[in-house]
Amino acid sequence: MHNLETFTLEIVGKVGIARMNRPDSLNCFNAKMFEELEGIAKAIEANHDLQCIVLTGEGKHFSAGIDISLLKEINSEWSLRNVNILHANLHRWENLHQPTIAAINGACIGGGLAYALCCDIRIAATNASFALPEVGFGLSPDMGDSQRLPRIVGASQAKKLILTGERFDAQEAGRLGVVDEVVEPERLMERAMELAEKIAAQPPMAVRFAKKAINLSMESSLAAGMLFEQVQSMYSLGSEDKTEAADAFLEKRKPQFKGR
List the chain domain ranges.
7-200, 204-251
Would you give the end-to-end CA distance of the chain in angstroms?
A: 27
Model pTM score: 0.90
The strand pairing partners of 108, in sequence order, are: 63, 130
More confident residue, 21 or 227: 21
The rounded distance, in Å, linking the Cα atoms of 199 and 51 is 7
Among 204, 211, 197, smallest CA distance to 260 is for: 204
Q: Name the percent of the chain lying above pLDDT 70.
A: 95
At residue 75, does pLDDT exceed 70? no
In this prediction, residues 162-189 reach a mean pLDDT of: 96
Among 147, 82, 86, 77, smallest CA distance to 111 is for: 86
Q: 185-194, 200-209, 243-252: lowest mean pLDDT where?
A: 243-252
The rounded distance, in Å, linking the Cα atoms of 123 and 105 is 9
The strand pairing partners of 122, in sequence order, are: 102
At residue 73, does pLDDT exceed 80? no
pLDDT at site 2: 61
204-251 adopts what CATH topology? Lyase 2-enoyl-coa Hydratase; Chain  A, domain 2 (1.10.12)
7-200 adopts what CATH topology? 2-enoyl-CoA Hydratase; Chain A, domain 1 (3.90.226)
More confident residue, 215 or 130: 130
At residue 78, does pLDDT exceed 70? no
Helix (H) or strand (E) holding 150: helix 145-153
